[in-house]
Amino acid sequence: MRILLIAEQRQGKWNKVSFETLAAAQQLATETGGRLVAALPGQGIRALAEELAGYRLDEVLVVEHERLEPYTADGFTLALRQLIEREAPELVLLPHTYQVRDFAPKLAAALGRALLADCIGYRYENGRVVFVRQMFQGRTAADVTFAGPPPWLATIQAGAFRADQLERGSSPAPVRAVSVELSPEQIRVRPGELFREAKQAVDLTQAPVIVAVGRGIKEKENIALAEKLAKLLGGELAASRPICDEGWLPMERQIGSSGQTVAPKLYIALGISGAIQHVVGMKGSRTIVAINKDPNAPIFEIADYGIVADLFEIVPALNEALEQSASS
């Protein structure tokens, strides 16, 4: 299968999911016996393209244009459409990043082709690729295949493939510059500067222990219970997105795709269902404890220790036991 990987950089910095997606692309290319080409869109990115060429692939395409920096959905869609029509790959793989989510559906619609978004794995069976993705916030998985003619587009979820399994090439792959046509009036979006809301007062990535709360905490007042547990364990308090949306905890304490990515020694998830947007931010934790009333909550799939119970019964008992052992 002829595979085209679209790698992502922003202002000269890699988005790491690019390499995880490249790992998926290498595996697919090996299994299906096809040519693997990587493309990098942007401007002033030759050095990054050379870096990409060190990995085992057949060619690297540098898609440079002054109107590709900064990123706009209009610019990227127009450029990549030209690239795909010219190079005629069968499968186009992209990392499932915020940027890709912003333009890939538009690109698919412009090509009149399918986009399988947010894939977490694949199986190659009977000469076709079956992609696996999640539905119902991770409560079910789904097998999805392409119908109709190529090119087919798919995006790969963060953490689904491992960048450390990437194979390097025996010699650097050739790097070829590809030109695209973009005129100013085609770009309707006017992008501004990137900024952060506030300098992050808490760096959750450094915490050895994290106690995180989700919807199951029910009320803002109940967060004190989790805060106490975090304190007794010498850790930090964090939350899933809905808690920060409610304003019960500041956004800087959010774990997940739109918040921080953490890998503490111990992660205790209280009343968190385990939607993929949260899980991508914490699944690298060494030991995961999940306390949830719903035995089918997807968080239990990644938990080392699970307690199917009311957190309002378990957490006070934990706090009490920790207080006793501290005073004894």
Examine residue 146 and tell whether it contacts other proteins (CB under 8 A): yes
- CA distances, 184 to each of 77, 80, 104 (Å): 14, 16, 21
Q: Which is nearer to other proteins, 102 or 227 (CB)?
A: 102
The binder of other proteins chosen from 55, 76, 161, 300 (CB under 8 A): 300
Examine residue 82 and tell whether it contacts other proteins (CB under 8 A): no
The binder of other proteins chosen from 192, 206, 221, 327 (CB under 8 A): 192
Distance CA 271, CA 222 (A): 12
The binder of other proteins chosen from 26, 97, 240, 292 (CB under 8 A): 97
Q: Which is nearer to other proteins, 45 or 210 (CB)?
A: 210
The binder of other proteins chosen from 88, 135, 177, 263 (CB under 8 A): 135
Distance CA 20, CA 4 (A): 14
- Are 211 and 272 contacting, i.e. CB atoms less than 8 angstroms apart? no
Examine residue 202 and tell whether it contacts other proteins (CB under 8 A): no
Distance CA 20, CA 94 (A): 10
Q: Is 230 exposed, middle or buried (0-12, 13-18, 19+ CB in 10 A)?
A: buried
Examine residue 50 and tell whether it contacts other proteins (CB under 8 A): no
The binder of other proteins chosen from 18, 21, 26, 273 (CB under 8 A): 273
Examine residue 250 and tell whether it contacts other proteins (CB under 8 A): no
Examine residue 168 and tell whether it contacts other proteins (CB under 8 A): no
The binder of other proteins chosen from 27, 124, 130, 231 (CB under 8 A): 130
Distance CA 157, CA 227 (A): 31
**Other CB atoms closer than 10 Å to residue 172's CB: what's the count?**
14
Q: Which is nearer to other proteins, 141 or 166 (CB)?
A: 141
- Are 289 and 268 contacting, i.e. CB atoms less than 8 angstroms apart? yes
Helix 73-87, helix 98-111: angle, nearest 10: 50
Examine residue 134 and tell whether it contacts other proteins (CB under 8 A): yes
User: Residues 8 to 27: which contact other proteins by CB under 8 A?
Assistant: 15
